[in-house]
């Protein structure tokens, strides 16, 4: 049972990192690329989540994908927080 819970928690952490990256990526813009590390971080995310990034910058797409990613980030933060009262107080916590 402990192994299953550890695997579940690790999976939640991986999803949380993924959706944090994708929400950050969608909020970033070229005007921020002069800030040290921003361009490298954008490249890292593009290489890791290529398909997701393409849909975020596709001008023919609406904002559905970004909305989905933001909802996933908020929900994952809610279920991942150990202090459930604090999590409910901060929900939907979308700061990246």
Burial call 1-12: b when 16+ CB within 10 Å, e when fewer? eeeeeeeeeeee
Q: How many domains, in total, are found in the chain?
A: 1
Does residue 13 lie within any of the structural domains?
yes
C-alpha–C-alpha distance, residues 15 and 11, integer Å: 6
Mean pLDDT per 10-residue run, the chain (96 residues)?
85 95 91 90 96 85 87 87 76 64
Q: What is the pLDDT of residue 96?
A: 54
Does residue 14 lie within any of the structural domains?
yes
Q: What is the pLDDT of residue 14?
A: 96
Does residue 15 lie within any of the structural domains?
yes
Does residue 41 lie within any of the structural domains?
yes
Residue matched to tokens 């290529």:
50
Domain span including residue 32: 2-90
Does residue 96 lie within any of the structural domains?
no
Does residue 95 lie within any of the structural domains?
no
């Amino acid at each position: 049972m402990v192994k299953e819970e550890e695997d579940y928690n690790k999976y939640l952490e991986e999803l949380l990192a993924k959706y944090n990256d994708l929400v950050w990526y969608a909020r970033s813009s070229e005007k921020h690329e002069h800030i040290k590390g921003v361009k490298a971080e954008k490249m890292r995310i593009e290489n890791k989540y290529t398909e997701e990034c393409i849909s975020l910058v596709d001008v023919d797409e609406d904002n559905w994908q970004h909305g989905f990613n933001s909802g996933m980030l908020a929900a994952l933060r809610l279920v991942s927080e150990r202090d459930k009262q604090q999590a409910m107080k901060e929900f939907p916590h979308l700061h990246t």
